[in-house]
């Protein structure tokens, strides 16, 4: 008997937070899964609550003024009540993304789906996932709701209790989601599997009604094991796509959709760069396509030799962010040994010689680790400033399952049962209890004053 085409809706919830800014945010994992499902014959639709370029938003006058030439920009936002756990924070709390009513209208204009796939990102954005699932149930009472993504993977029990989807899928989702859907709908894909990343189809960015930028993932996982990061829990080991496969994807989006803005989402984009990212960038540069690349996720300074820096400049890699974390050598070794002070200075010199201004380069400095003193952050910021680069504070957020989460628990600085909302980096989860919230803000102000002197 022929398979009657079934419909799957991909849904990316809003962000609920004290602050949020769109650095080319895209639900890449969901789009990969959607693409595999389409290849199997399912009808796939997308609603991305964080799509700043959705045509329906054009009617909101304030919205159009918030986009920069590089297409990053402010989300539309609606102020909402602060959840009780964070009611003490002296800041407004908002729903970022499309207005609630608009999302409801868009949902009701969809073909009613058999399955809804909901993705999730930061663990402390879970209230948005809860609201999304409530709304989806109201609009599509007969659809099965499957939740996956970063929050679902890091905190599956929490998600089961609070978000209460019909199914939760943890980890990488292409194989698990397709097999589960095939089973639920008695459709194709029961034995689906893949072996190399190159076998995956391109993510379904074409589902966006208006597409201006595309996120690229040239690898999965990370060869480093930084104590604060959850990458090792989220991905099934470090793997790369081939150079040709990545260039083919860039060519496709450039030629078929005239995309000029690409963002790398890799954890370790520069690892083994001679075999991977260097030939990719050389290929793009030699093609003559007019393209900009962005790297909002931190890059490892160790790998930025003269050739890498020149390729960045000639292939128009912009918005460079370097992962440094700390100038304290003891902590560098304990955390991952992926960078030294000398390597940061050398990377910045190479980038400057290649044509970048040091002050345009952001260097991530981690603030608020368990056991870290304010003096360490001040020294690190001063060191980065002396090198001429911009300090970008990455406020530490304890992530369940990581080494630093366990450190915080062992030191009595974190209670494992604390509400995930309290891990929000905006409120300095560890330091607000030790050093104090106001002192954290003072340190940030001082760092801003350093940056403004550049
Ligand atoms: C790229 C990235 C960013 C980008 C934006 C990402 C985006 N989506 O647009 C940028 C650079 C802006 C960013 C910023 C930050 N990030 Co970030 N980021 C990442 C990174 C490296 C990759 C995410 C990604 O897209 N992966 C690729 C896709 C393919 O994977 P995926 O989304 O997980 O999807 C797969 C599965 O999850 C699953 N899946 C996903 N959805 C669904 C749905 C269903 C139904 C199913 C079945 C399966 C499924 O299948 C997919 C395919 O296999 C992760 C680390 C990591 N390795 O995941 C950190 C990570 C998510 N970021 C993190 C953090 C802390 C931050 C910051 C707060 C850092 C800081 N202190 O400033 C900021 C703030 C974000 C903000 N407020 O806007 C943490 C999250 C921790 C947490 N508590 O949840 C992570 C895990 C890194 C870490 N430190 O461990 N980030």
In this predicted model, what pLDDT tens digit does every residue of 27-51 receive, in sequence order? 999 999 999 999 999 999 999 999 9
Higher-pLDDT residue of 338 and 111 is 111
60, 99 Cβ separation under 8 angstroms: yes
- Strand 77-80 to strand 362-367: parallel, antiparallel, or no bridges (unpaired)? unpaired
The DSSP symbol for 221 reads S
- Strand 43-48 to strand 7-12: parallel, antiparallel, or no bridges (unpaired)? parallel
Q: Is 93 exposed, middle or buried (0-12, 13-18, 19+ CB in 10 A)?
A: buried
Contacts of 115 (CB under 8 A, 6+ apart): 6, 7, 8, 9, 143, 144, 145, 146, 181, 184, 185
428, 89 Cβ separation under 8 angstroms: no
- Per residue in 369-415, pLDDT (tens digit) is 988 999 999 999 999 999 999 999 999 999 999 999 999 999 999 99
The yes-or-no verdict on residue 1 having pLDDT over 60 is: no
Going by alpha carbons, the residue nearest to atom 88 of ligand 1 is 229
CA 114 – ligand 1 centroid, Å: 27
Q: What is the pLDDT of residue 245?
A: 98
Q: How confident is the model at residue 302 (pLDDT cuts 50, 70, 90)?
A: very high
Average pLDDT score, the chain: 94
- Per residue in 239-293, pLDDT (tens digit) is 999 999 999 999 999 999 999 999 999 999 999 999 999 999 999 999 999 899 9
Going by alpha carbons, the residue nearest to atom 53 of ligand 1 is 172
The token duo for 439 is 């002192």
- Per residue in 212-228, pLDDT (tens digit) is 999 999 999 999 888 88
**Section 80-98 average pLDDT:** 95
335, 376 Cβ separation under 8 angstroms: no
Closest residue by Cα to residue 97 from 69, 123, 124, 129: 129
Pick from 32-41, 108-117, 391-400, 430-439: least confident:
430-439
β-strand partners of 325: 365
CA 34 – ligand 1 centroid, Å: 17
The yes-or-no verdict on residue 64 having pLDDT over 60 is: no
Atom of ligand 1 at shortest range from CA of 215: 9
Domains defined along the chain, listed by start: 7-185 (3.40.50.280), 200-452 (3.80.30.20)
User: Would you call 202 helix, strand, or coil by DSSP?
Assistant: coil
> b or e along 328-363 (b: 16 or more beta carbons within 10 Å of the residue's beta carbon)?
beebbeebbebbbbebbbbbbbbbbebebebeebbb
Q: What is the dihedral of CA 256, 212, 218, 300, to 10 degrees?
A: 150
**Section 118-141 average pLDDT:** 98
The yes-or-no verdict on residue 108 having pLDDT over 60 is: yes
Closest residue by Cα to residue 360 from 234, 249, 454, 288: 454
Atom of ligand 1 at shortest range from CA of 172: 53
Q: What is the pLDDT of residue 66?
A: 78
The yes-or-no verdict on residue 115 having pLDDT over 80 is: yes
Pick from 102-111, 135-144, 417-426, 427-436: least confident:
427-436
- Per residue in 153-194, pLDDT (tens digit) is 999 999 999 999 999 999 999 999 999 999 999 999 999 999
Measured distance CA(283)–CA(280) in Å, rounded: 5
Going by alpha carbons, the residue nearest to atom 23 of ligand 1 is 265
Pocket of ligand 1 (CB under 6 A): 20, 23, 25-26, 28-30, 32-33, 117-119, 121-123, 146-150, 153, 169, 172-174, 177, 217, 229-231, 234-235, 265, 267, 296-297, 394-395, 397, 399, 423, 425
Q: How confident is the model at residue 424 (pLDDT cuts 50, 70, 90)?
A: very high
- Per residue in 329-361, pLDDT (tens digit) is 999 988 877 899 999 999 999 999 999 999 999
The yes-or-no verdict on residue 65 having pLDDT over 70 is: no
Report pTM: 0.96
- Per residue in 3-27, pLDDT (tens digit) is 678 999 999 999 999 999 999 999 9
Measured distance CA(393)–CA(19) in Å, rounded: 15
CA 14 – ligand 1 centroid, Å: 14
Number of residues that make up the chain = 454
The yes-or-no verdict on residue 60 having pLDDT over 80 is: no
């Amino acid at each position: 008997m022929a398979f009657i085409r079934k419909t799957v809706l991909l849904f990316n919830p809003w962000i609920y937070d004290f602050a949020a800014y769109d650095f080319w945010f895209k639900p890449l994992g969901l789009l990969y899964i959607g693409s595999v499902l389409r290849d199997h014959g399912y009808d796939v639709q997308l609603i991305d609550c964080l799509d700043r370029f959705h045509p329906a938003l054009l009617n909101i006058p304030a919205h159009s003024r918030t986009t920069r030439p590089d297409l990053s920009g402010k989300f539309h936002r609606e102020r909402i009540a602060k959840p009780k756990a964070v009611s003490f924070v002296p800041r407004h709390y908002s729903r970022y993304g499309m207005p609630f009513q608009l999302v409801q209208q868009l949902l009701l204009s969809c073909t009613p789906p058999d399955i809804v796939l909901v993705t999730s990102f930061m663990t402390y954005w879970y209230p948005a996932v809860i609201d999304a699932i409530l709304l989806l149930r109201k609009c599509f009472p007969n659809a099965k709701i499957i939740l996956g993504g970063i929050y679902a993977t890091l905190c599956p029990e929490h998600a089961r209790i609070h978000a209460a989807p019909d199914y939760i899928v943890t980890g990488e989702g292409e194989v698990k989601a397709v097999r589960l859907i095939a089973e639920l709908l008695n459709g194709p894909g029961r034995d689906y599997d893949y072996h190399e990343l190159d076998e995956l189809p391109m993510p379904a960015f074409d589902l966006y009604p208006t597409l201006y930028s595309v996120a690229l993932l040239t690898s999965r996982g990370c060869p480093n094991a930084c104590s604060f990061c959850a990458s090792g829990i989220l991905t099934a080991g470090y793997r790369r796509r081939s150079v040709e496969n990545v260039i083919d994807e860039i060519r496709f989006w450039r030629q078929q959709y005239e995309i000029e803005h690409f963002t790398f989402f890799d954890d370790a984009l520069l690892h083994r760069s001679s075999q991977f990212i260097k030939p990719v960038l050389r290929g793009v540069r030699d093609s003559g396509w007019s393209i900009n690349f962005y790297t909002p996720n931190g890059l490892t300074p160790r790998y930025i030799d003269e050739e890498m820096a020149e390729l960045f400049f000639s292939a128009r890699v912009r918005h460079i962010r370097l992962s440094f974390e700390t100038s304290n050598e003891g902590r560098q070794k304990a955390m991952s040994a992926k960078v030294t002070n000398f390597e940061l200075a050398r990377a910045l010199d190479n980038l400057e010689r290649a044509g970048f201004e040091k002050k345009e380069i952001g260097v991530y400095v981690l603030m608020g680790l368990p056991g870290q003193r304010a003096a360490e952050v001040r020294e690190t910021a001063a060191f980065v400033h002396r090198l001429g680069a911009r300090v970008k504070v990455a406020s530490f957020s304890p992530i369940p399952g990581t080494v630093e989460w366990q450190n915080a628990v062992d030191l009595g600085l974190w209670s494992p049962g604390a509400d995930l909302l309290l891990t929000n980096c905006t409120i300095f989860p560890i330091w607000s209890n030790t050093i104090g919230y106001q002192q954290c803000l003072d340190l940030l102000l001082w760092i801003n004053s350093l940056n403004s002197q550049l």
